[in-house]
């Protein structure tokens, strides 16, 4: 058993947790990058100095080492308690369907726009005459005959 101090990406926080398995340590490091700190809005729990972020890192450690939870079980654990907010990748549900459907909407609009301008430029290349234009033209030609 070795004592490992973990430096987060932001390097602002140093916790001392012991891991007997190297795989647990790498899971811990990747999971704490994944969750958003509830107190500080746009920092993950790895990079935050807020006391709640420390408590959540401790919780992630406990769930990995003591509770032997899988990564998905840990994600569910935090989501059930802190809501979708802690996940940077929010699930599709009744509150998020609009924002998730935006890319598809823009794709459809883009295709529509490309096609409509193509059709328009194709139709603009030749001059369309209305019935009255044709009658008028016929009249001019007849008069000149």
The CB-of-3 to other proteins minimum distance in angstroms stands at 21
Q: Which of 1, 11, 66, 80 binds other proteins (CB under 8 A)?
A: 80
Identify which range of 2-10, 27-35, 75-83, 134-142 contacts other proteins by CB under 8 A. Answer: 75-83
Residue 69 engages other proteins in binding (rule: CB under 8 A): no
H helices of the chain, where? 22-34, 51-65, 71-82, 97-124, 131-144
The CB-of-5 to other proteins minimum distance in angstroms stands at 21
How far does the chain reach from its first CA to its final CA, in angstroms? 108
* Cα–Cα distance, 37 to 19 (Å, whole number): 23
Residue 67 engages other proteins in binding (rule: CB under 8 A): no
Q: Which of 18, 21, 55, 133 binds other proteins (CB under 8 A)?
A: 55
Which residues sit opposite 90 in a β-bridge? Answer: none
* Count of CB atoms situated within 10 Å of the CB of 106: 10
Residue 82 engages other proteins in binding (rule: CB under 8 A): yes
* Count of CB atoms situated within 10 Å of the CB of 53: 24
Query: HSE on the CB side for 96, CA within 13 Å?
Result: 9
Identify which range of 9-17, 26-34, 53-61, 136-144 contacts other proteins by CB under 8 A. Answer: 53-61
Positions touching other proteins (CB under 8 A) are: 38-39, 41, 51-52, 55-56, 59, 79-83, 85, 116, 120
């Amino acid at each position: 058993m070795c004592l490992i101090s973990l430096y987060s990406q932001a390097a602002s926080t140093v916790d001392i947790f012991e891991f007997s398995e190297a795989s647990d340590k790498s899971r811990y490091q990747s999971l704490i990058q994944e969750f958003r700190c509830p107190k500080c809005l746009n920092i993950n729990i790895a990079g935050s100095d807020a006391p709640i972020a420390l408590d959540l890192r401790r919780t992630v450690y406990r769930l990995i080492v003591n509770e032997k939870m899988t990564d998905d079980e840990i994600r569910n654990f935090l989501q059930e308690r802190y809501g979708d907010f802690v996940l940077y990748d929010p699930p599709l549900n009744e509150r998020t369907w609009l924002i998730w459907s935006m890319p598809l909407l823009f794709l459809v609009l883009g295709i529509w726009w490309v096609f409509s301008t193509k059709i328009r430029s194709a139709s603009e290349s030749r001059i369309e005459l209305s019935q009255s234009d044709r009658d008028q033209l016929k009249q001019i030609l007849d008069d000149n005959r």
